Chains A and B, each alone.
Chain A
Amino acid sequence: MEFFRIRRDIPFMRHALVFNIISLLTFLAAVFFLVTRGLNFSIEFTGGTAVEATYVQTADLERLRGVVGGLGYGDVQVQNYGTSHDVIIRVPTKAGIDQKAVPGHVFEALCKAEAGAVGTKTETTAKGESITRPSCDAGATEPVVLKRSELVGPSVGDELMRNGAYAMISVVIGIMLYLAFRFEWKFSIAAIVANLHDVVIILGFFAFFQWEFSLSVLAGVLAVLGYSVNESVVIFDRIRETFRRFRKLTTMQVIDHAITSTISRTIITHFCTQMMVLSMLIFGGPTLHYFAMALTIGICFGIYSSVFVAAAIAMWLGVKREDLVHTGAKAAIDPNDPNAGAVV
C-alpha cells in the first residue's frame, strides 16, 4: 500500500496567506470564547466537592436536582457521568459550610430519596480483600451506590493553577531554546507560535462546549504541545536538508518541497497516534474522555499548524539558506557538525 503518490511539490506556500488568515480567525474565535465563556474548571482547580453515585435504575436527574438543591449548598451541578445510571454531583465551596460533611450529606440525601437508610458495609471482595464502605440499604437492595467522592480545598486549586501556568511556560521556553540552538531563532518562534495557537484552539473548544477542564486535560494539552512541535521539527529538518541539496530553489520552493516530501509521514504518524487516542475515547470511560478529546483536537490541529502555519511564519520571518547552511558547502560535510545528517 502506498497512499501518497505526489508527482510534483504541492504549492502550499502559495496559499500561505489564506491559511494564516484562517488560523488567525480560528485563534481569535478561540480567544473570544475563552474570554466570554471561560473554561469550565474541574473541582481540582476551583475547590469544591464531587460525589459520584450509580443507580440501579436510570437516574432521574430532574428529581435529583430537587433533592440535592434542598440541601442549601447553592449552585449545585447534577449531571450524568458515563452512562445514564451514573450521576455526578458537584458542589462548589461556600463560606459557612463544613466542606468535609458535604459528601456524607449528599449521599444521605440521595439515599433518603430512594427510601433507604445509610449504613456501613464491610464485605470481602472476590479477590479476598476486606473493604468497608458506606452503603444505602433499602430492604435487601441497594438502590444507589456511592462510587467516588472527592473534596478539594480552595487553596489547592490556586496552587494547581499556578503550577499549570509554570509548566506551560517552562515547556514553551524549553522548546524555544532547544529549537533556537538546533536550528535558528526564526524557526523557534515559528514553531512555538504555531503550536501555542493549537493550544489556544484546544482551550477554545473547551470554553465553547464548556467541557470540564481537569488536571488530566492539562496534562494532555502539554503532552500534545510537545508532540506537535515534533511535527514542525520534522518539517524544519527537511527544509534544512533541501536548502543544502538544492541550491537554486527559492525559499518558497524549498518549503513546499520539504512539506510535500514529509506529508505522508506526517499523516501516517498522526493517523496511528489518533487510533490510539480514539481507542481511549471509545474504551476509556468518562475519566479519560476529555483527556482523549483534548488530544484529538490537538492532533488534528497539530497537522494543520505544522504544515500551514509554522512553515508560513518561518517564511514571513524571512528564513534564508544562509541561516541554516552556515559556511556554505563546507559545513555540509563537516563531520563534527551536530546538524549534519539531520534529515527526513
Chain B
Amino acid sequence: MNRYPVWKFVLMALAVLIGLLYTVPNLYGSAPAVQVSAASLTTKVGTDTAAQVEQLLAAAAIKPDYVTFEGTTVHARFATTDTQIHARDVINAGLNGGADKDAPPYSVALNMVPRAPHWMASLHALPMYLGLDLRGGVHFLLQVDLKAALDKKIEALVTDTRTTLREKQLRAAVARDGNSVTMTFHDAATAAQAVNVLTDAFQFVQWTSVADGADVHVTGALKPAELIKAQDQAIKQNMTTLGNRVAGLGTSEPVIQQQGADRIVVELPGIQDTAKARELIGRTATLSIRMVDQTAAASADNPADDVFPNSPDIARRNGPTTIVKKEVIASGDDLADAQPNFDSQSNAAVVKLQMNAKGARSMREVSSQNIGKLMSIVLFEKNKGQVISVATIQSELGENFQISGGFTAEEANELSLLLRSGALAAPMEFIEETAIGPSLGADNIAKGLHSVAWGFVAILVFMCAYYLLFGVISTLSLGVNLLMLVAVLSLIQTTLTLPGIAAIALTLGMAIDANVLVNERIREELRAGSAPQTAIAAGYERAWATILDSNITTLIAGLSLLLFGSGAIRGFAIVHCLGILTSMFSAVFFSRGLVNLWYGRQKKLKSILIGQVWKGGAQPGNVPQPDDLEEDAATPAAGKNPRIAR
C-alpha cells in the first residue's frame, strides 16, 4: 500500500532537479563588471556600443568574460576588480574621450553582475534580486499629483473645444467648470450641430445638452475610461521621464515601479547620498523652441550668444552648427504632447505637437511673421543645450502642428520621445526616502542567513533525535521545501528583502508542523496496534485533511497581507504564501515518497524507526470505563478504506 507509481518518483526527482537549477544561481554571488549607459537623452546605447566596448577592450588587451547589451545598458564582466577598474578607465577614455568633461555622453560605472555561468541565464535561471536593505542604496516613494495631470488635460480640452467650434464658425462662450467643459448656444440647431462636430472630434468626451428656454447648455465631461487612461498615461510618462533621468546615473539595476494608483517607487542601488540622488532625479531637462539665427553676422566663427553643437542625428540633415536666437518662443511647459504620426497626404512619418493656449498664442504670432524661416527645438540638459530639431516654417502654426523632414518612423518616434522626455505629466512629491549604507546591507544578509541556518539546524537535530528515521525524512523534505521556495522566488524574480528572509525562516518553522502531524499520527496508529505499513498509510491519509485545513487558515492571513500590504510587508507576504504552497508539496507528497522508497517494498515489515512508541495511549473519558470505549460501528478502522484519495 505504500508504493508510488514510477511517475511520482520521476516527479519528485524533477522537483529536486528544477529546484537545484533555479536555486544554484543564488550561490554564485556576483562578479565585478563595467556598465555603460547613456548619460544624456540624445545618446543611444545599443549593440553598436557593445561592439565598440569589445574593440576598446581588445585594443587594450583586456579579456572580459563577456560583453552584453540588454535593455538600455552594456555590461562587461571581468574576473577581478583590478581588471575591472583598468577596463573602466579604458572604456571611459574611449567613449567619452573627446567629449565635454561635465556632460559626457556615456556613463561608465563600476558595477556587479551575477557570477553564474551564462548558460544558466539563458534558461532564465537567475539569482534573486536583492532588496536595498540587503545591498545598500536609496529608495524614494514619489506621490504623483494626478489632479494636476487631469487639470492639464481639461485645460487642453477647453482650448481644443474653442478652436474646433471657431473653425466650424459655431459661436459659443466656452468655459471650464470643474472637470468639465461648458458652453451655451442661443439656438437648438447650432447646439445640435456643435454636439455633432464635437462628438466627432473628441470621442473620449461625453457631451450632453440641456435646453434652458431658448438657450441650450452643452456640457462635456471625460468618459470614466478616459479619466483612468489619462491618469495612467500621466504615471507612465512620469515613470519614463524618471527612467531617462536615472539612466545616466550608472547605478546597476535601478528600479522604477508604480505602487498603488498614484505612487512611483524609485530604487537606486549603490548610491547612499539621498540629497544628491534627489537632486539628480529631480533635475529637469528643459525644452525651448527658438528661431534659428540665419543672419550673416552669426556664423560659427563669430558666434552669437547661444551656440549649440548638433546631435549626430540632426547633423546629418543640417549644417554642423546651428546658431539660435536668444528669445524663447515657447518652453517645454507649453508643450502639451508630442506623438509620432503619419502625414495624411504624403504618408511620411511626422511628429505631431500639441501646444497649450499660451504656447499656441506665441507660436501663431512668431510663425506668421517668419514663414519660410528656420525654427529649432533645443533641449537643455545639465546646463548644456542641444538642438534636436530644425525645421522650416511652412505656414502659420497654432495649437497643433507637425514637424516633417524625411524622418523614418523610428526617427519620428525617437524625436517625439525626446520632446516628451523632458517634461513630467504631473508634478511629484517625495513622500518617503530611505538610504541604506552598504555595510548595513551586508550585515543584514549575514543576519538573515544565520537566522535561517541555525533555526534549520536546531529543527533538524531535534526532529532526527525525536523521530529517528522519520525525523531524517522530515528534515529532508523541509530541505526540499527550502530548495523549492528559493527556486520559485528566483524564477519569478522577486526582490529579496530582510523581511523576506524572515518569512522564509518563519515559513520553514511553520512547515514542520505538517511533518509533526504525520509523524504523531503514525505513532498513534502504531500505539493503537496497527501494523507498520497500515500505520504509515493511515498516518499520512488522516493527517492530510488537517494539514490542508491548517495551511488554508495560514494562507488566508498571508493573502490578506499581500492584498493590503506594501513595500516590506508585500515581500514578506509573497514569501509566506509561496512557502505554504511548497510546504504542502514537500511535507505530504515528497516525504511520503521517501517513506515509500525506504519501507514500501518490505512486505513483512515488523517495525519502523519513528522513535519510541509507548503503548498505552490516552483513553477517552477521565475515568476509563469499558462501556465508553465502544467505538462507533460506522467508523472504519484505521487504515482500511482510505477515504482521501491522492
Enumerate chain A interface residues (CB-CB to B < 8 A): 1-2, 5-9, 11, 52, 100, 103-104, 120, 124-134, 145-153, 155-156, 160, 163-164, 166-168, 170-171, 174-175, 178-179, 182, 215-216, 218-220, 222-223, 225-227, 229-230, 233-234, 237, 242, 244-249, 253-254, 256-257, 260-261, 264-265, 268-269, 271-280, 282-285, 287-288, 291-292, 295, 329-330, 332-333, 335, 340-344
A343 to B493, CA, bound (A): 38
When the two chains form their complex, are residues B433 and A151 in contact, meaning their CB atoms are under 8 A apart?
Answer: yes
When the two chains form their complex, are residues A265 and B520 in contact, meaning their CB atoms are under 8 A apart?
Answer: yes
Interface of A is mostly: helix
When the two chains form their complex, are residues A128 and B272 in contact, meaning their CB atoms are under 8 A apart?
Answer: no
When the two chains form their complex, are residues A132 and B276 in contact, meaning their CB atoms are under 8 A apart?
Answer: yes
Contact of A219 among B270, B551, B561 (CB under 8 A): B561
A153 to B503, CA, bound (A): 27
Contact of B516 among A52, A247, A272, A335 (CB under 8 A): A272
When the two chains form their complex, are residues B546 and A342 in contact, meaning their CB atoms are under 8 A apart?
Answer: yes
When the two chains form their complex, are residues A284 and B458 in contact, meaning their CB atoms are under 8 A apart?
Answer: no
Q: Name B555-607 residues within 8 Å CB distance of A.
A: 555-561, 563-569, 572-573, 576
Residues of chain B with a CB closer than 8 A to A133's CB: 271-273, 437-438
When the two chains form their complex, are residues A280 and B630 in contact, meaning their CB atoms are under 8 A apart?
Answer: no
A269 to B518, CA, bound (A): 11
When the two chains form their complex, are residues A163 and B565 in contact, meaning their CB atoms are under 8 A apart?
Answer: yes
A343 touching B542 in the complex, CB below 8 Å, given contacts A133-B437, A155-B431, A234-B517: yes
Residues of chain B with a CB closer than 8 A to A248's CB: 627-628, 630
19 A-B residue pairs with CB within 8 Å = A1-B466, A104-B275, A124-B85, A125-B438, A129-B30, A129-B111, A129-B112, A148-B434, A163-B566, A167-B563, A175-B557, A215-B567, A227-B557, A245-B632, A273-B506, A276-B451, A278-B458, A280-B506, A344-B520
A5 touching B614 in the complex, CB below 8 Å, given contacts A126-B81, A129-B110, A131-B136: yes
A283 touching B620 in the complex, CB below 8 Å, given contacts A164-B564, A268-B466: no
Q: Which residue of B lies closest to A342 (CB)?
A: B545
- Tell me whether B616 is interfacial, beta carbon within 8 Å: yes
A260 to B569, CA, bound (A): 37
For B521, B544, B569, which residue has the most chain A Cβ atoms within 10 angstroms? B569
Residues of chain B with a CB closer than 8 A to A167's CB: 560-561, 563-565
Q: Which residue of B lies closest to A226 (CB)?
A: B557
Contact of B502 among A175, A222, A284, A332 (CB under 8 A): A284
When the two chains form their complex, are residues B634 and A332 in contact, meaning their CB atoms are under 8 A apart?
Answer: yes
- Tell me whether B508 is interfacial, beta carbon within 8 Å: yes
Residues of chain A with a CB closer than 8 A to B546's CB: 233-234, 237, 342-344
Contact of A175 among B443, B542, B556 (CB under 8 A): B556
Residues of chain B with a CB closer than 8 A to A257's CB: 618, 620-621
- Tell me whether B505 is interfacial, beta carbon within 8 Å: yes
Q: Name B80-128 residues within 8 Å CB distance of A.
A: 81, 84-85, 109-112
CB B255 to nearest CB in A, in angstroms, measures 16
Q: Which residue of A lies closest to B459 (CB)?
A: A272
Q: Name B104-160 residues within 8 Å CB distance of A.
A: 109-112, 133, 136, 141, 143
Residues of chain B with a CB closer than 8 A to A178's CB: 552-553, 556
Known pairs A131-B271, A291-B499, A341-B644. 7 more at Cβ < 8 A? A6-B617, A133-B272, A148-B436, A216-B572, A265-B516, A272-B513, A273-B509
When the two chains form their complex, are residues A215 and B568 in contact, meaning their CB atoms are under 8 A apart?
Answer: yes
Residues of chain A with a CB closer than 8 A to B371's CB: none
- Tell me whether B643 is interfacial, beta carbon within 8 Å: yes
9 interchain residue pairs of minimum CB distance: A128-B32, A226-B557, A276-B509, A279-B455, A133-B272, A276-B455, A230-B550, A130-B110, A153-B431
When the two chains form their complex, are residues A275 and B458 in contact, meaning their CB atoms are under 8 A apart?
Answer: yes
A194 to B625, CA, bound (A): 32
When the two chains form their complex, are residues A226 and B432 in contact, meaning their CB atoms are under 8 A apart?
Answer: no
A66 to B614, CA, bound (A): 66
Residues of chain B with a CB closer than 8 A to A174's CB: 556-557, 559-560
Contact of A341 among B438, B512, B623, B643 (CB under 8 A): B643
When the two chains form their complex, are residues B276 and A120 in contact, meaning their CB atoms are under 8 A apart?
Answer: yes
A333 to B640, CA, bound (A): 12
Contact of B451 among A247, A272, A283 (CB under 8 A): A283
CB B21 to nearest CB in A, in angstroms, measures 24
CB B515 to nearest CB in A, in angstroms, measures 9
Residues of chain A with a CB closer than 8 A to B502's CB: 216, 280, 284, 288, 291-292
When the two chains form their complex, are residues A130 and B270 in contact, meaning their CB atoms are under 8 A apart?
Answer: yes
When the two chains form their complex, are residues B561 and A223 in contact, meaning their CB atoms are under 8 A apart?
Answer: yes
- Tell me whether B346 is interfacial, beta carbon within 8 Å: no
A237 to B542, CA, bound (A): 11
Residues of chain A with a CB closer than 8 A to B169's CB: none
When the two chains form their complex, are residues B447 and A2 in contact, meaning their CB atoms are under 8 A apart?
Answer: no
When the two chains form their complex, are residues B459 and A275 in contact, meaning their CB atoms are under 8 A apart?
Answer: yes
CB B35 to nearest CB in A, in angstroms, measures 10
CB B76 to nearest CB in A, in angstroms, measures 12
When the two chains form their complex, are residues B455 and A166 in contact, meaning their CB atoms are under 8 A apart?
Answer: no
Residues of chain B with a CB closer than 8 A to A151's CB: 274, 430, 432-434
When the two chains form their complex, are residues A226 and B558 in contact, meaning their CB atoms are under 8 A apart?
Answer: yes
- Tell me whether B345 is interfacial, beta carbon within 8 Å: no
CB B106 to nearest CB in A, in angstroms, measures 15
When the two chains form their complex, are residues A132 and B624 in contact, meaning their CB atoms are under 8 A apart?
Answer: no
A1 touching B611 in the complex, CB below 8 Å, given contacts A175-B553, A234-B517, A279-B451: yes
CB A204 to nearest CB in B, in angstroms, measures 20
Residues of chain A with a CB closer than 8 A to B455's CB: 275-280
CB A286 to nearest CB in B, in angstroms, measures 9
When the two chains form their complex, are residues A253 and B622 in contact, meaning their CB atoms are under 8 A apart?
Answer: yes
Q: Which residue of B lies closest to A101 (CB)?
A: B275
Interface mask (B608-646 → A, CB under 8 Å = 1, otherwise 0): 000111101111111110011111111110000001100
Contact of B611 among A2, A261, A277, A332 (CB under 8 A): A2
CB A257 to nearest CB in B, in angstroms, measures 4
Residues of chain B with a CB closer than 8 A to A284's CB: 447-448, 450-451, 502
- Tell me whether B33 is interfacial, beta carbon within 8 Å: yes
Residues of chain A with a CB closer than 8 A to B612's CB: 1-2
- Tell me whether B498 is interfacial, beta carbon within 8 Å: yes
CB A91 to nearest CB in B, in angstroms, measures 14
A282 to B458, CA, bound (A): 13
CB B483 to nearest CB in A, in angstroms, measures 17
When the two chains form their complex, are residues B516 and A9 in contact, meaning their CB atoms are under 8 A apart?
Answer: no
For B506, B555, B572, which residue has the most chain A Cβ atoms within 10 angstroms? B506
Residues of chain B with a CB closer than 8 A to A332's CB: 632, 634-635
Contact of B30 among A104, A124, A127 (CB under 8 A): A127
Residues of chain B with a CB closer than 8 A to A11's CB: 622
Residues of chain B with a CB closer than 8 A to A229's CB: 550, 553-554, 557
A133 to B272, CA, bound (A): 5
A126 to B636, CA, bound (A): 66
When the two chains form their complex, are residues A341 and B618 in contact, meaning their CB atoms are under 8 A apart?
Answer: no
Q: Which residue of B lies closest to A334 (CB)?
A: B643
A332 to B616, CA, bound (A): 27
When the two chains form their complex, are residues A128 and B431 in contact, meaning their CB atoms are under 8 A apart?
Answer: no
CB B274 to nearest CB in A, in angstroms, measures 7
- Tell me whether B14 is interfacial, beta carbon within 8 Å: no
When the two chains form their complex, are residues A153 and B635 in contact, meaning their CB atoms are under 8 A apart?
Answer: no
Q: Which residue of A lies closest to B611 (CB)?
A: A1
When the two chains form their complex, are residues B627 and A156 in contact, meaning their CB atoms are under 8 A apart?
Answer: no
- Tell me whether B389 is interfacial, beta carbon within 8 Å: no
- Tell me whether B414 is interfacial, beta carbon within 8 Å: no
Contact of A237 among B549, B613, B622 (CB under 8 A): B549
Q: Name B402-443 residues within 8 Å CB distance of A.
A: 429-440, 443
Contact of B512 among A103, A219, A272 (CB under 8 A): A272
CB B535 to nearest CB in A, in angstroms, measures 13
CB B73 to nearest CB in A, in angstroms, measures 15
When the two chains form their complex, are residues A8 and B624 in contact, meaning their CB atoms are under 8 A apart?
Answer: yes
CB B266 to nearest CB in A, in angstroms, measures 14
- Tell me whether B51 is interfacial, beta carbon within 8 Å: no
- Tell me whether B246 is interfacial, beta carbon within 8 Å: no
CB A43 to nearest CB in B, in angstroms, measures 10
Q: Which residue of A lies closest to B635 (CB)?
A: A245
Residues of chain A with a CB closer than 8 A to B630's CB: 246-248
